[in-house]
Amino acid sequence: MRRRSPPAWSYRRIHILFLLLLATSSSSASAANFTCTTVQAACQSAIGYTTRNATTYAELLSLFNTSTLAELLRANGLPPTAMPPDTAIPAAATVTVPFRCLCNVATRVGRSDYRPIYLVGSQDGLDAIARKVFDGFVTYQEIADASNIPDPNKIFVGQELWIPLPCSCDQVDGHNVTHFAYKVRAVDTTSAIAAKFGVLESTLMRINGITDPKNLVQGQILDVPIPGNDTMARMARKHEGLINQEDINIDLSTLRTATNNFDERNKLGEGGFGVVYKGALPDGQQIAVKRLSNCSRQGINELKNELVLVSKLQHKNLVRLVGVCVENQEKLLVYEYMPKRSLDTILFDPDKSRELSWEKRLKIIIEIARGLEYLHEESRLKIIHRDLKANNILLDSDLTPKISDFGLAKLFGADQSHVITNRVAGTYGYMAPEYAMFGQYSVKSDVFSFGVLILEIVTGRRSMGSYSDHEQSFNLLDLIWQHWNRGTLLELVDPSTLTRAGHGTTNQCSLQADQMLGCIHVGLLCVQANPADRPKLSAVTTMIGGTASLNPPSRPAFWVLPEEDATRAAGTNSSPGGRVMAASANRVSITEIEPR
């Protein structure tokens, strides 16, 4: 007789039971066995919390509700006033979260002082709350016990849960310590963890009941007793939080020596953020030291973004952060030195621009696109630069471009398409119309800025210059549009580039002309009025130098203004017909008028 197959619901039931058993077995033991026997009323403790998704300090403070912003920053080795609550924290960042610990002498267990309190949502389960929301520092059984829940499967939306984080107030070998809850990583060993936090390996193993170092398990929560008088400060230095300060921290005395005490003769530039000096470290490495202004909010944002964003990024077309110094009243950022300075100093100089052959210009365009594509699509972070311009493209000795100045950069979540701000900051002539008028920015607003940059590089003209053509005055985008319609685009190409092209063979000259026209075409596609009509950076890198046919562009978003209006620098305007009008006839940055 033919055997009858079990019904589909049977397989589903078995699968569900298996998952429940797996979840139960993975969470059955205590997340951490922190012995706490002291009669001391309370003490300071902390955990090393790793973010699952991009978040902010405000969201982290709301989740734990165990400290102030100043305490959270201080625990991570950052100045207490360095960052506002909406500062972005990337996914997979490890943040030291301080909290108050209470010892239960009867149970000999330490737990956080009735915080955090978690509000149950519609999709929540205790096991997921324990493992995912609170990173496995607590089990679902511990949450249920602490919150007087008899059946862990029965919780309701809006229910308040006490999350009992592990901790201790006990002395270790007669000394006061801060007990730090550390989650073991795959690469960790007991000796490495002990060395990292300045603890004896034997002490670490004894406190955690480890008899064999080989028994260390990924995800295990360890009690790390951090010694010293100012234990929270030591924890900030030892624990790898948003940045590894041991790797990039540079003493103020070293930077004073490197710049000859910030000698005016070593000054490279100056802006709303402060002053940049050239210097050399003791090993001979040349550096650029950005001394952030104490009287400008821009200095605070600059420090925040460089620490949170740039220190996490590695790409040949992004400027490299060498180090940071926050000491006394000084806030300094140290970068690799770029001997050719910024692109604008060469591109718009009639003599220096001759150094930029067409081959070099094309290389610069392609590599800027690659750096921007990395920020938008390839990095584990998704970053919008918001101030891409020729001034912020630095060149090394080989004219390799590197995107710099992340003072306005913003971190996006994976599912975020755009953000709206009521504080528009950037540079006139490069800002996308939806950002300039409505404060809406996205990857496509960066694409607009890049399109303007392409057109500047090909023509050697500033975007906000005023150019005469047939007895009319145009800005660069509208001038290019006029020549696009007339089929005379090569008339706009930088003459020094055409002269060099003329020295080659006919085929070489023809190829270069095609590449120039192709770049202008791509530039026009990038500056379309509708963000949806602009290509992604991954598509742009394919378009440049490619043979694929391109869609015809529409009129650029910014076009000609009457001369009397073009001299205004007060802001952007929208005409009744919906046309976006250029904001300024000069190249001043909003942040230079209104420092952040």
Q: Do residues 419 and 535 both lie within one domain?
A: yes
Q: Judge whether residue 30 has pLDDT over 70.
A: no
| Per-residue pLDDT tens over the stretch 356-399 | 999 999 999 999 999 999 898 876 667 889 999 999 999 999 99
Instruction: Say if residues 387 and 589 touch (Cβ distance below 8 Å).
Output: yes
> Is 149 domain-assigned?
no
Q: Is residue 374 part of a domain?
A: yes
Distance CA 123, CA 144 (A): 17
Minimal CA–CA distance to 48: which of 91, 90, 94?
A: 94
- The CATH number of the domain where 364 resides is what? 1.10.510.10
Structural domain contains residue 293 = yes
Among left, alpha and beta (phi > 0; psi -120 to 50; other), residue 108 is left
Residue finishing a domain among 336, 363, 396: 336
Kindly state whether residues 283 and 195 are assigned to the same domain: no
Name the residue among 96, 59, 94 with its Cα closest to residue 75: 96
Q: What mean pLDDT is predicted for residues 501-526?
A: 80
Residue 161 has pLDDT above 70, yes or no: yes
**What pLDDT sits at residue 277?**
95
Same domain, 458 and 374: yes
pLDDT tops 50 at residue 8: no
Where is mean pLDDT largest: 71-75, 79-83, 294-298, 408-412?
71-75
Q: What is the pLDDT averaged over residues 491-517?
A: 73
- Per mean pLDDT, which of 304-318, 419-433, 572-586 is the most reliable? 419-433
Residue 575's pLDDT is 33
SS (H, E, C) 24-74: HHHHCCCCCCCECCCCCCCEEEEEEEECCCCEEHHHHHHHHCCCCHHHHHH
223 and 332 share one domain: no
Burial 27-66, CB ≥16 within 10 A → b, else e: beeebbbbbbbeeeeebbbbbbbebeebbbbebbbebbeb
pLDDT tens-place string over residues 173-225? 888 899 999 999 877 888 888 877 888 889 999 999 999 988 888 899 999 99
Q: How large is the average pLDDT for residues 464-468?
A: 69
Residue 290 marked in a binding site:
yes
pLDDT, residue 166, reads 92
Quick one: 520 and 575 in the same domain?
Answer: yes
DSSP of 136-195, one letter per residue? Answer: TSS-HHHHHHHTT-S-TT---TT-EEE---EE----BTTB--EEEEEEPPTT--HHHHHH
Assigned domain for 544 exists: yes
How is 389-401 classified by DSSP, letter by letter?
SGGGEEE-TT--E
Tokens of 332: 């300094």
Q: Cα dihedral sign for 582, 588, 594, 596?
A: positive
In the predicted structure, residue 580 carries a pLDDT above the cut 60: no
- SS3 call for 270: strand
β-sheet bridge partners, residue 401 = 395
Residue 258: predicted pLDDT: 94
Residue 262 shares a structural domain with residue 394: no
Q: Output the pLDDT for position 576.
A: 30
Mean pLDDT for the stretch of residues 414-424: 73
Over 50: is that where the pLDDT of 131 sits? yes
For the segment 267-271, the average pLDDT, to the nearest whole number, is: 84
Name the pLDDT band for 6 (thresholds 50, 70, 90): very low
Q: How many percent of the chain have pLDDT more than 90?
A: 33
Range of the domain at 112: 30-116+165-242
Nearest C-alpha neighbor of 261 from the set 223, 293, 237, 291: 291
Q: Please check the confidence at residue 569 and state whether its pLDDT lies above 70.
A: no
Confidence of residue 109 (pLDDT cuts 50, 70, 90): confident
Q: Are residues 389 and 527 in the same domain?
A: yes
Active-site residue, from 127, 135, 387, 405: 387
Tens of pLDDT, residue by residue over 167-185, are 998 889 888 899 999 999 8
- Domain boundary among the residues 336, 356, 384 is at 336
Chosen domain end from 223, 242, 261: 242
Domains: count for the chain: 3
Q: Are residues 433 and 526 in the same domain?
A: yes
Predicted pLDDT at 63: 92
In this structure, the answer to whether residues 294 and 178 fall within a common structural domain is no
Helices (H) and strands (E) in the chain, counts: 21, 25
The answer to the question of residue 11 being in a domain is no
Answering whether pTM is above 0.85, one says no
CATH number at residue 291: 3.30.200.20
Give the per-residue pLDDT at 246.
46
Assign 526 to helix, strand or coil.
Answer: helix
Q: Is 350 among the domain residues?
A: yes
Answer yes or no: do 305 and 369 share one domain: no
Question: 125 by DSSP, 3-state: which?
Answer: coil
User: Is residue 114 scored above 90 in pLDDT?
Assistant: no
For residue 470, is it within any domain? yes
pLDDT > 50? residue 589 = no
240-249, 466-475, 483-492, 529-538: lowest mean pLDDT where?
A: 240-249
Question: Does the annotation count 387 as an active-site position?
Answer: yes
Instruction: Look at 247-261, 294-308, 522-536 and tell me which has the smallest mean pLDDT.
Output: 294-308
Residue 79 has pLDDT above 90, yes or no: no
> Which of left, alpha, beta for 557 (phi over 0: left; psi -120 to 50: alpha)?
alpha
Q: How confident is the model at residue 481 (pLDDT cuts 50, 70, 90)?
A: very high
Q: Among residues of the chain, what percentage have pLDDT more than 70?
A: 75
In this prediction, residue 525 carries a pLDDT of 95
Flag whether pLDDT at 561 surpasses 80.
Answer: no
What rounded mean pLDDT belongs to the chain? Answer: 78
Q: Looking at the structure, do residues 332 and 255 belong to the same domain, yes or no? A: yes
Res. 550: pLDDT tops 70: yes
Predicted confidence band at 149 (pLDDT cuts at 50, 70, 90)? Answer: very high
One domain for residues 268 and 282: yes
Token code pair at residue 381? 């972070």
What would the pLDDT profile of 306-354 be if each residue is shown by its tens digit? 666 777 677 889 998 888 887 777 888 899 999 999 999 999 998 999 9
Read off the pLDDT of each residue in 552-576 and give the average, rounded to a whole number: 50
| Residue 245 pLDDT exceeds 70 | no
What is the pLDDT, as a whole number, of residue 506?
Answer: 63
